[in-house]
Chains A and B, each alone.
Chain A
Amino acid sequence: MKRVYVNEKWCLGCHLCEYYCAFGESNKKDMARALKDIKINPKIWIEEKDGVSFAVSCRHCKEPLCVKSCITGALTIKDGVVTINKDKCISCYTCILICPYGAVSPSEDGAVQKCELCVKTTWGTPACVEGCPNGAIVFEERG
């Protein structure tokens, strides 16, 4: 299955992936309009320190601890994509407690949020990858 992988050595630390994530979610056509006056809460983010930077987002693990640990059954695997059913989520944060990558985060809408590879957006494939100017994140099969 195709997943988002990180090529750390190519990351410029430009944070465009974060903006593309929010843009992808907005389902709007124009990036500037989509992001105007909003504080983004992206599902991918850059960690950076002393000249090193890289993007972090859900790994879509084959054995996802978050899915196994979810107390309401809100997190499931759909065609390989670890997916959140926001209707069932009660924001108990057990997934935040267990994800070893720190890839599930709180959101404003009463449920947790995580990367779903843009399958629910009009993009269909990860917007962050489309927007990365340097090939530091890629969407491909790596087994």
Chain B
Amino acid sequence: MRYVIIGNSAAGIGAVEGIRQVDNQVEVTVISSEPYHTYSRPAISYLLMGRTTEEKMKYRDDDFYDKMRCKILCGKTVTEVRPAAKQVVLDEGSVISYDKLLVATGSEPFVPSFDGLDMVSQKFTFMSLDDARKLGAALRKDKQVLIVGAGLIGLKCAEGILDKVRSVTVLDLAPRILSSILVEDGAQLVQCHLESKGIDFRLSTGVKYFDSNRAMLVNGEMVGFDLLVLATGVRPNTALLASIVDIDKGIVINKKSETSAKDIYAAGDCTQTLDISSGENRIMPLLPGAYMQGECAGVNMADGNMSFDKAIPMNAIGFFGKHIITAGNYSGEVYTENVKDRYKRLFYSDNKLNGYILIGNVEKAGIYTSLIRERTPLDSIDFSLICEKPGLMAFTKEERNQKLGSVSL
């Protein structure tokens, strides 16, 4: 038996650990395009900031592959999957057979085809260690940076490099920053915070075209720059399985991480997942979900039994010491709290918590997250108490005894 895993990030590593929970013997091979030990992708902005190092941002210890008795092929790219022959083909031409295959190929930056972009000499994306190294090497105190995209990636990049360059301007088509995770007033709050640190914004406008070191904006303004960072979104890497499995927005999988093809599993950013907070299938390129989906795939590949059916969008992100935690979807009635350093919105309907946004004070946010993930009926807890303050006090005594005392319900 040989299990082959394409991808060496959260989902791939989750799968290795999942397989080893069940089966200590089976041969496991991980294939990675990047020539590196597994590393934390979201840590790259902290690397540029100097808050971590390439050594510390390793996602697992140096002896991980040995301990897991797992073969790692680094710097090799799978170019073809042959489902009938149960083989994958590598870029150098060699062929590897598999009994079960996991595709955890992640996502890649999506860059729209701006006019004149090919004439911009210093342009970067910001998703991988190589991206961070290239951008890091180009940073100088006299450089002006333009970041296109005020989402999670664009803004973490802005935070990571602000101290190392002359100026950072962030541009977005949307009227607000972090539009995928914040609503208007929260976005405004975070924008003010970022502006106070020195980041400039141009919102509700896009790039019409680039003219070497200048971006001509749709609103008529011209923004000059030395370095251009394109953070305009990501898209799932599904090409390897095109015409082999069902693909919609991403690779379609069930709660066992199985694709529509026998013995082929998929997990992480390359897949689409059921968001149980909204009931919709969507792409959720988030590390915790990727790990859990990968682990689930690994357990099931090894003939164990695991389901991952609690996926919701969720983000923990911070800028210059101000923390933001969000989860779920923002529909229904709204509980609002705005006091100094505490911005809170809870969204609920039909006796369920759908989502929440916390800015500033984020303590015990996980208690809200669990209400969404477990679809807890709000009439089974003291909802008005938990709105005010997340805590276990809002649960019944019996549930507390179970949670804190392991006493069965």
Chain A residues near B (Cβ < 8 Å): 3, 5-8, 47-49, 52, 54-56, 59, 65, 68-69, 71-73, 87-88, 90-102, 104-106, 110, 142-143
Contact = CB atoms under 8 A, between A and B. Distances in A.
26 contacts: A5-B404, A6-B400, A7-B405, A8-B400, A8-B405, A52-B393, A55-B404, A59-B404, A68-B14, A71-B10, A71-B40, A71-B43, A72-B57, A73-B58, A90-B43, A92-B316, A94-B316, A96-B362, A97-B316, A98-B314, A100-B403, A101-B392, A102-B363, A102-B390, A102-B392, A106-B323
B42 interface: yes
Interface of B: 10, 14, 40, 42-43, 46, 51-52, 56-61, 287-288, 291-292, 295, 314-318, 323, 325, 327, 362-367, 369-370, 385, 390-393, 397, 400-401, 403-406
Contact of A91 (B10, B318, B369, B400): B318
Contact of B366 (A71, A90, A99): A99
B392 A92 contact: no
A68 B298 CA distance: 14
Contacts of B317: 92
B52 to A, nearest CB: 6
Contacts of B40: 71-73
Give the 3 A-B residue pairs with the shortest CB-CB distance, closest first.
A102-B364, A69-B288, A100-B370
A73 B59 contact: yes
A69 B291 CA distance: 7
Contacts of A65: 288, 366
A56 B63 CA distance: 35
Contacts of A49: 385, 393
A73 B60 contact: yes
B363 A105 contact: yes
Contacts of A105: 363-364
Nearest to A141: B406
Contacts of A92: 42, 316-318
A5 B291 CA distance: 29
B285 to A, nearest CB: 13
A95 B401 CA distance: 23
